Amino acid sequence: MSGSRIAALGHHQPARVLTNADLERMVDTNDTWIRQRTGIATRRIAGPDESVTDMVAAAAAKALAGSGLQPGELGMVVVATCSAIDRCPSIAAQVAARLGVPDAVCFDLNNGCAGFCTALATADHTIQAGAARHALVIGAEKMSDVTDWTDRSTCVLLGDGAGAAVLSTTEASGEIGPVVWGSDPARKDVVRLTDAWQPRFSQEGQAVFRWATSELPEAVELACHRAGLTTADLAGVVTHQANLRIIESLTRRLDLRADVVIARDVVDSGNTSAASVPIALSKLVERHELPSGGPVLLFSFGGGLSWAGQVVTCP
């Protein structure tokens, strides 16, 4: 049985930057509150003509170009999203058509903010099983479509974008570590999209905050253990970019090297749900801030409550 590795990454974010000062003019909020409670300074917001499919296609094209593969070599395209309005054809099928992928299994997957790491594991398992040699995995959201722009408790948090990874088969032992994933259905309603016809993001912020700061360290340690590592071996930590205070609470509780690279893209991008981990990872790799070949923890969590994560080898 072969394994898989991340061959290339790519990301796309809309051009429009929404600052805390902009939000001060829209709702009763202020820069100090937003920065102190969330760490967020800016987020990217797509225009009315920029769809989830457009953002996925842009990120996917960059990752595919970086991999050196031809579209015809892809055996799987999977898009993790919870905000896309299109149901059928799937976003994955639409993007496969745009990229000229002639014959791949294409589907969308919704596991809320945990979607990208869930999709990464699904693609890795598919490659391990010999059902595809190369896969395109994308996390993408247009959260601005499901944001109540009059609700200060949520509209300051969210942003849009897409991040993509090309996975390729490798004869060596896999570079995508065993996944740790699960859910707590008893708390399924603490993060939700309300109203199927006009969905709006809603959450019990403090409940998620308490859950994330108490439960995540153990799950992260388990992902490292399953990869045959400890947290002290990690070169990088790329967790869901929901709140800088959650990221800092988690990393304080882990035994990490002094030179470990911690993703803090939430400051610039806000919470982009299923897109947050691949965007943050792609940016760190693009800026050469992560050592090639180093072990990097990916871990995401959100609606469900669901979580998924794994240690990957940095391309």
- Interface with ligand ACO by CB under 6 A: which residues? 29, 33-34, 37-38, 113, 152-153, 156, 191, 203, 205-206, 208-209, 212, 242-243, 246, 271, 273, 302
User: Which residue, 74 or 212, has its beta carbon nearer to ligand ACO?
Assistant: 212
Least Å distance, CB 158 to ligand ACO, is 7
Catalytic hit among 113, 117, 155, 314: 113
User: Which residue, 28 or 171, has its beta carbon nearer to ligand ACO?
Assistant: 28
Q: Which two tokens stand for residue 251?
A: 């990393």
Least Å distance, CB 58 to ligand ACO, is 21
Nearest residue to ligand ACO, scored by beta-carbon proximity: 205
Q: Is the dihedral of CA 196, 197, 203, 208 positive or negative?
A: positive
Least Å distance, CB 143 to ligand ACO, is 7
Catalytic hit among 11, 12, 134, 240: 240
CA distances from 29 to 18, 32, 97 (A): 14, 9, 43
Residue 271 among the catalytic residues:
yes
Least Å distance, CB 148 to ligand ACO, is 12
Alpha-carbon gap, residue 40 to 281, rounded angstroms: 18
Closest to 15 in 3D by CA, of 35, 55, 40, 44: 44
The amino acid that residue 192 corresponds to is R
Q: How far is C-alpha 80 from the geometric centre of its chain's CA atoms? A: 8
Residue 240 among the catalytic residues:
yes
Are residues 138 and 166 in contact, defined by beta-carbon separation less than 8 angstroms?
A: no
Residue 88 among the catalytic residues:
no
User: Which residue, 111 or 273, has its beta carbon nearer to ligand ACO?
Assistant: 273
Are residues 315 and 7 in contact, defined by beta-carbon separation less than 8 angstroms?
A: yes
User: Which residue, 208 or 262, has its beta carbon nearer to ligand ACO?
Assistant: 208
The amino acid that residue 21 corresponds to is A
Looking at the DSSP bridge assignments, the partners of residue 112 are none
Residues designated as active site = 113, 240, 271
